Each structure stands twice: as structure tokens, then as C-alpha cells.
């Protein structure tokens, strides 16, 4: 069993609080490590050191900061398989999915290599008599990232790369369930040339989160997790005068129109609904077929595909479609929600509750479940299950299907499968969801765009990665400069135009 550490001032540091949390291999149920949970004193010391290191880092020119990102990207590529295995061992996702986790984070690092071009301010000469106006973007100072268990590489990279390349220092608090990947990324950043102290990885629980939110040095907080915690962090951060971007839960729908290619739609639903055991904030968990014939045919196509899914450990090779969920508590919650669906009248077409894998009986595996005839009042519709469960809500018309999504409290991602361009354009224009897929099941934008949901899926007015991230981690300073050149003017007591 490994005793994990914090990463402070460019080196591994043992925890001193005396508090630890077990880290599991979800496939076997075995405790494979213990992660220290920092005290307030440990956190505050890390923040103080980050504040000192940030001054010189901010004074480093943007191009040199971008070169650190270039080297960091090379190192991530070089260690891709190692990082993917760290992800899979603690999270449980398959190795191909683990590589995808790392790759989507790497893409944000690659965009940050071009940060100098995105951080330029504005300039206007002769805005008034002898007056120049210009703006500059400057780092906030020390910021924090609080990241979830389901993407141990991708989301820490989404937070780290834009924050650091903008000249900030960062306190990263990764999920205590999957801490090893962030610690390894910190080592690679040091190797890439990041000065000591600019990134501090502080492991912890709610005590550390509250400490981050209340510490006066921290100027901005980025969070990804559940909606209740996102609301809590956003509110407390705002009360304490911090910038915050907090991304919460989701209930992502996919409309299947009568003219859709149902084989492609069924393949998309299986991949988007059951990949990574459904533990994705962009997972499609609700299929919305339009019309009885479409719904009946869709169910017929889904059943053999779902029944053919192979559930197993990440060590099972490329034949494994998805692995275990993260904890035994998650497994119990998912199975409990499936039971509630049956009790509330939904038709359970495929039941994954009794799934057991020979040789891995202690693992946290959940078999795939498929529901039909789900209604909006049922718990399996209202709650984010975050597991391998697909619910089918039948609607008679496109308008009813669209209205279902519009009324849902979440607005992270959505999709429509159709052969009709007018319907697709209408859907994209009207739906009140932040990320939309047209014949595309998981519409996570490429890294030079930006990622963010609407409604109770996101709190804050700037999204993750892309140009929005650099705006979030910087503040604008505008300078009005006058150089006198034969201009004579007395004292001006009235507010007046510059021209």
C-alpha cells in the first residue's frame, strides 16, 4: 500500500495532519494507498509559498511561460501510457478511456502554448490630444482548482494549464479518490521548467475546500463536481470576493427523430450512456425517441447492443467496454435508483443490479441497465445517476421532446439525431443547453472553443478552457497616458471628454 503525499514547493511532502483517506482500486475493492488530508495550517503554508513564487512567475514574459507548456505537452505525450494507467488504476476506467482522459487534457495544454497571442490587450494612439489608451491583461495572483474523481487527468489539466500560463500560481486540490495522476503531472511540470511553488497540490476534503474559499490570498476558484457543491462553492467564494467558475451536475438528453439512422443512434446511445460506467458529466442518460414506431425500433436495436457490453477491469484489455464505478457507495446508490425506477412504474428492459464478475467479486462493478416508459416524475429521471443506466422517455412530437429538455433543471449537454437540417437548426437555436450535438452524442467542444453548461449545470459567467479560461484567470487594466508636447491646459475641475 502506497502512502501518498502533497506536492509543495517542487517536491513530495508527507502530510502532518494525521488524517488520511483510503484510495481504492475499484476493480478489486482493495485499498492501494492512503492520501493525506491537509490541515488548515498545511494549506495556509502552501498558499503563502505560492504567493511568493507567483511574483517572479508573473514577471516571466508570456512567451517563456508558453515554452513551459510546450515542454509539458511533450512530456505528457512521452508518458501517455503511464498516465493512463494511473488514471485507470484509481478510477477504474478502461485503458483506452484513460488515454482519452489524458489526451483531452493535453489538447488544452496545446492551446495554452499560444497564450501570448490570446493575452494581448488593446491600444489606441491619439485617443485625445496627446493621449494614448491601452489595456493589458494581468494574472489574478494565486488561484485554486478543485477537481472531481471522474477525470483525474483531463480536468486538472483544464484548470492548471490556463491558470499557470496566464502567470498565476495555483493550489490544486484533486479528488482524494484519485490523487496520483495530479501528483505525477506536477512532477512533469517541474521537469518542464515550472518554478517551484507555482503549482502546489494539496490533498484534502471539505476542510481544505473551506480553507481555500476563506483564504484572502486566493483570488479565483475553479470547481467541477455536483450541483449542490458547485452552488455552495460559488456562493461562498462570491461572498468572500473571489472569482468563481463552478460546474455542476447534468441530465443529458438525446432526441431521436423518426428520420434518424437508428443504427447510428443506437450505437451513439450505448457509447455515450455506458462509456466510463456512465461516470461522465456529458454522458447521455436519457433517450427521447419521437413517436411510438421510433421508440419501439430503438429499443429493439439497443437491447442486443447493451447485452453485448463487456464489463471488466482495466487490465482486461481492449475487449472491456467499461469498468467499475468509483466506490461501493456509488454502486449501492446506482442500484438503489434502479430499484426506485421499478417501484415507480418504469419498465426495466435490462437489469444490471445483480452483475458479478468472477474473480472480482469485491470490485465495484455495476451491470448496464435500460429503462423504457420513464416519466418525468420518477427519481431515475430527476436525479443524475452517474452510472451505467439509460432511461427512455417517449414523446409523440418534436415539440414535446424539445419542451422536456427545456424544462429540465440541468443544461450541460444535449444531442439530436435527425436527417433533417431544418429540425437540427431549430433545435440548436432554441434549446437552452450550453453544448449541443447534431448527430454527435457527446458534444464536448475542441479545446480552442470553450466548455460550459447552462442552468444548474454551471455557475459563473466564464467557461472552462479556450479564450474564456484566459479571461477568467486574468484581469484587465486600462491605462490613459498623456505626454505633454506643447499642450497648455489649466486645472480641470469638471468631468469632461478627452477630445
Catalytic residue status for 112 = no
Around Cβ 407, how many Cβ atoms within 10 Å? 9
What is the Cα–Cα distance from 364 to 91, expressed in whole angstroms?
Answer: 11
49 by DSSP, 3-state: which? helix
> Distance between CA atoms of 242 and 143, rounded to whole angstroms?
9
Please count the other Cβ atoms lying within 10 Å of the Cβ belonging to residue 169. 30
Cβ of 85: how many Cβ atoms within 10 Å?
Answer: 17
- The proportion of the chain whose per-residue pLDDT surpasses 90, expressed as a percent, equals 93
Give residue-wise pLDDT tens across range 405-458. Answer: 999 999 999 999 999 999 999 999 999 999 999 999 989 999 999 999 999 999
Q: Is residue 221 a contact partner of residue 213, using CB atoms and an 8 Å limit?
A: yes
Report the pLDDT value the prediction gives residue 1, as an integer from 0 to 100: 81
**Active-site residue, from 112, 178, 246, 281:** 281
Cell 458529466 belongs to 281
Which grid coordinates belong to 417?
Answer: 439525431
Supply the DSSP symbol for 448. T
- Whole-prediction pTM value? 0.94
> Can you give the C-alpha Rg of the chain in angstroms?
25
Cα(401)–Cα(395) distance, rounded to whole angstroms? 6
pLDDT-based confidence at residue 498 (cuts at 50, 70, 90): low
CATH code assigned to 252-438: 3.40.309.10
In the predicted structure, residue 499 carries a pLDDT above the cut 60: no
d(CA 55, CA 49): 11
In whole angstroms, what separates CA 457 from the centre of its chain? 11
Q: Is 430 exposed, middle or buried (0-12, 13-18, 19+ CB in 10 A)?
A: exposed
Evaluated on CA atoms 179, 183, 185, 186, the torsion sign reads positive
Q: How far apart are CA 175 and CA 19, in angstroms?
A: 15
Contact 393, 285 (CB under 8 A): no
Q: Any idea of the CA torsion for 405, 407, 413, 415, to the nearest 10 degrees?
A: 10
**Residue 340's pLDDT band (boundaries 50, 70, 90)?**
very high
Let me know: does 177 contact 151? Beta carbons within 8 Å. no
Tens of pLDDT, residues 314-335: 999 888 999 999 999 999 999 9
Measure the CA–CA gap between 79 and 192, rounded to whole angstroms.
13
Encode pLDDT of 169-201 as tens digits: 999 999 999 999 999 999 999 999 999 999 999
Alpha-carbon gap, residue 449 to 414, rounded angstroms = 17
Please say whether the beta carbons of 203 and 37 come within 8 A. Answer: yes
| pLDDT score of 317 | 84
Give the single-character DSSP code of 26: T
Give yes or no for residue 28 having a pLDDT over 60. Answer: yes
pLDDT at 496 over 70: no
Question: How many whole angstroms separate alpha carbon 267 and alpha carbon 304?
Answer: 11
SS3 11: strand
C-alpha cell at 270: 450505448
What's the pLDDT at 9?
98
Domains of the chain, residue spans: 2-248+457-479, 252-438
| Helix intervals (H) in 205-354 | 206-214, 227-239, 262-274, 292-307, 328-343
- Under DSSP, the state recorded for 167 is T
C-alpha triplet 67, 200, 44: angle, nearest 5°: 145
Q: Residue 403: in which H helix or E strand, if any?
A: helix 398-407
CA 448/CA 162 separation, integer angstroms: 12
Q: What would the pLDDT profile of 113-144 be if each residue is shown by its tens digit?
A: 999 999 998 999 988 888 999 999 999 999 99
List the CATH code of the domain at 2-248+457-479.
3.40.605.10
Distance CA(315)–CA(317), nearest Å, equals 6
> What span, in angstroms and rounded, lies between the C-alpha atoms of 354 and 357?
10
Contact between residue 82 and residue 187 where contact means Cβ atoms under 8 Å apart: no
pLDDT in tens, 94-111: 999 999 999 999 999 999
- Domain pair 2-248+457-479 / 252-438, same fold: no
**Dihedral over Cα of 389, 307, 299, 256: its sign:** positive
Q: Is 160 left (phi over 0), alpha (psi -120 to 50) or beta?
A: alpha
Amino acid at each position: 500500500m502506497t502512502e501518498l503525499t502533497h506536492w509543495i514547493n517542487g517536491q513530495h511532502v508527507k502530510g502532518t495532519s494525521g488524517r488520511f483517506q483510503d484510495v481504492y482500486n475499484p476493480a478489486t475493492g482493495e485499498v492501494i494507498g492512503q492520501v493525506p488530508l491537509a490541515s488548515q495550517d498545511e494549506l495556509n503554508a502552501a498558499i503563502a509559498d505560492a504567493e511568493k513564487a507567483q511574483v517572479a512567475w508573473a514577471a516571466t514574459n508570456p512567451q517563456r511561460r508558453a515554452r513551459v507548456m510546450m515542454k509539458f505537452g511533450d512530456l505528457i505525450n512521452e508518458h501517455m501510457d503511464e498516465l493512463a494507467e494511473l488514471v485507470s488504476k484509481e478510477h477504474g476506467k478502461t485503458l483506452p478511456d484513460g488515454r482519452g482522459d489524458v489526451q483531452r487534457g493535453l489538447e488544452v495544454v496545446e492551446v495554452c502554448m499560444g497564450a501570448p497571442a490570446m493575452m494581448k490587450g488593446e491600444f489606441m494612439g491619439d485617443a485625445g490630444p496627446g493621449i494614448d489608451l491601452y489595456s493589458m491583461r494581468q494574472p489574478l495572483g494565486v488561484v485554486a482548482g478543485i477537481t472531481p474523481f471522474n477525470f483525474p487527468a483531463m480536468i486538472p489539466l483544464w484548470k492548471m494549464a490556463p491558470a499557470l500560463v496566464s502567470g498565476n500560481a495555483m493550489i490544486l486540490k484533486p479528488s482524494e479518490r484519485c490523487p496520483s495522476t495530479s501528483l505525477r503531472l506536477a512532477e512533469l511540470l517541474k521537469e518542464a521548467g515550472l518554478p517551484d511553488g507555482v503549482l502546489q497540490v494539496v490533498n484534502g476534503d471539505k476542510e481544505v475546500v473551506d480553507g481555500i474559499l476563506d483564504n484572502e490570498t486566493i483570488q479565483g476558484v475553479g470547481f467541477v463536481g455536483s450541483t449542490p457543491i458547485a452552488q455552495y462553492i460559488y456562493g461562498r467564494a462570491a461572498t468572500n470576493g473571489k472569482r468563481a467558475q463552478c460546474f455542476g451536475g447534468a441530465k443529458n438528453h438525446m432526441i431521436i427523430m423518426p428520420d434518424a439512422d437508428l443504427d447510428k443512434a443506437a450505437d451513439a446511445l450505448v457509447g455515450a450512456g455506458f462509456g466510463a460506467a456512465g461516470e461522465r458529466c456529458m454522458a447521455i442518460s436519457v433517450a427521447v425517441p419521437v413517436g411510438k414506431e421510433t421508440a419501439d425500433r430503438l429499443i429493439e436495436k439497443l437491447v442486443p447492443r447493451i447485452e453485448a457490453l463487456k464489463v471488466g477491469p482495466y487490465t482486461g484489455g481492449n475487449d472491456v467496454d467499461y469498468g467499475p464505478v468509483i466506490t461501493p457507495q456509488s454502486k449501492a446508490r446506482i442500484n438503489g435508483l434502479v430499484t426506485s425506477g421499478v417501484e415507480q412504474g418504469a419498465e426495466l428492459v435490462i437489469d444490471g443490479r445483480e452483475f458479478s464478475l468472477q474473480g472480482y467479486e469485491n470490485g465495484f462493478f455495476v451491470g448496464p441497465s435500460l429503462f423504457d416508459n420513464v416519466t418525468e416524475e420518477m427519481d431515475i429521471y430527476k436525479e443524475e445517476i452517474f452510472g451505467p443506466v439509460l432511461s427512455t422517455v417517449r414523446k409523440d412530437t418534436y415539440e414535446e421532446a424539445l419542451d422536456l429538455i427545456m424544462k429540465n433543471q440541468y443544461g450541460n449537454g444535449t444531442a439530436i439525431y435527425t436527417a433533417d437540417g431544418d429540425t437540427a437548426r431549430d433545435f440548436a437555436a432554441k434549446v437552452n443547453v450550453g453544448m449541443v450535438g447534431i448527430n454527435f452524442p457527446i458534444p464536448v467542444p475542441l479545446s480552442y472553443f470553450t466548455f460550459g453548461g447552462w442552468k444548474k449545470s454551471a455557475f459563473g459567467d466564464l467557461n472552462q478552457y479556450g479564450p474564456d479560461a484566459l479571461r477568467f484567470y486574468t484581469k484587465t487594466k486600462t491605462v490613459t497616458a498623456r505626454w505633454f508636447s506643447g499642450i497648455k491646459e489649466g486645472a480641470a475641475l469638471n468631468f469632461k471628454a478627452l477630445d
